[in-house]
Amino acid sequence: MSDVKFEYQFKDRDFNKLKEIVYARTGITLGEEKRQLVYSRFAKRIRKLNLQNFSEYIEYFEKNEESEVTDFINAITTNFTSFFREPHHFEFLKNFIAEREMASRYCRIWSAGCSSGEEPYSIAMTVLDSIANPDAWDIKILCTDIDTSVLRKAEQGVYDAARVEGVDERLRSRFFLRGKGARNGLVKIRDEVRTNMVFRQLNLLDEFPFKKGFDLIFFRNVIIYFDKDTQRKIFSKIAKLQQPGDVLIIGHSENLAAVTDKYALIGRTIYQRLDN
Ligand SMILES: C[S@@+](CC[C@H](N)C(=O)[O-])C[C@H]1O[C@@H](n2cnc3c(N)ncnc32)[C@H](O)[C@@H]1O
């Protein structure tokens, strides 16, 4: 395709180079159809840094990799998410927790690619709503993402009230505080929900730093951005963190076919770790 003409010169060579760096740094695969997206995401960096064109930005990146890489990564990730997205997964979670209420009262959950926090807070609210006495439980929810700006938002737990409109009224009044005065129109997740949650930056391409495994992993709407080879590598690391019977949940348009044989499908995009 010929060089695209926009505010900043964006040559084929620039697109190819950016694709290469994005893939190496994040695993995200950018096809030809993402050319416009790549332009608009990095044009913001070019403007901010007062550069003239994409070639200058690439040169800048290569000279200042260490200081630029965080903004570079934050610019290219797609962070779309919502509270209780794919509600059937939270129905499953209720039953999963109810079964443990009778047994261990121990649970380690990982929200991998948690974006701005809507997913892990939906998990935490569901868990709290499903158990009688949280003090009798040992629960931890690890929330990770490669993107530090969404992770900061997740940690703050403050959202536009419009984002929680679809949340069940009972859960909304139990788990959110409504902003007043200057904070009118905002809601904040209550501390009670956050007590067992930990937020950390983690690039899924890197070696996992975990000492213990996870009973349940939410890994939803992340692998769609990766090619099969990257998916295979990540699932091979994930499988090592789970015991037979543990559960892995992926996004509605994703599947594990040709990627891992360590899991069996037990529900809609819900998988159970096999004994292999
Ligand atoms: C579309 S969001 C999914 C959010 C949430 N899981 C959901 O389903 O609503 C995808 C997230 O994956 C993160 N991501 C992309 N590449 C990653 C990588 N290599 N390591 C960790 N997170 C990554 C992005 O930053 C983004 O927040």
Look at residue 53 and give its three-state secondary structure. coil
Q: What percent of the chain has pLDDT over 90?
A: 95
Instruction: Answer yes or no: is the C-beta of 119 below 6 A from any ligand 1 atom.
Output: yes
3-state SS class at 125: helix
Residue holding tokens 């439980």?
137
Instruction: Kindly list the domain boundaries of the chain, sorted by start residue.
Output: 12-76, 88-157+190-273
Residue 18: what pLDDT?
98
pLDDT digits (tens, 9 = 90+) for 22-63: 999 999 999 999 999 999 999 999 999 999 999 999 999 999
205 lines ligand 1 (CB under 6 A): yes
Closest-CA residue, ligand 1 atom 7, reads 81
Residue 210 has pLDDT above 80, yes or no: yes
Q: What is the pLDDT of residues 140-184, one digit of tens each?
A: 999 999 999 999 999 999 999 999 999 999 999 999 999 999 999
Which listed CATH number (1.20.1440.230, 3.10.105.10, 3.40.50.720, 1.10.155.10) goes with 12-76?
Answer: 1.10.155.10
Confidence of residue 101 (pLDDT cuts 50, 70, 90): confident
CB 29 within 8 A of CB 227: yes
Q: DSSP 3-state helix, strand, coil percentages of the chain (rounded to 5)? A: 45, 20, 35
Quickly name the fold that domain 88-157+190-273 has: Rossmann fold (3.40.50)
* Gyration radius of the chain over CA positions: 20
Strands 216-219, 106-112: parallel, antiparallel or unpaired by DSSP?
Answer: parallel
- Catalytic (active-site) positions: 41, 145
Residue 231 CB–ligand 1 contact under 6 Å: no
What pLDDT is attached to residue 4?
55
For residue 147, how far is its CA from the centre of ligand 1 (angstroms)? 8
Complex ipTM above 0.85?
yes
The model's pLDDT over 79-100, given as tens digits with 9 standing for 90+, comes to 999 999 999 999 999 999 999 9
Q: In degrees rounded to 5, what are phi and psi of residue 19? A: -55, -45
- Residue 37: count other Cβ atoms within 10 Å of its Cβ: 12
- 246 close to 272: Cβ distance less than 8 angstroms: yes
Tell me: pLDDT of 268 over 80.
Answer: yes
Alpha carbon of 76 to ligand 1 centroid (Å): 11
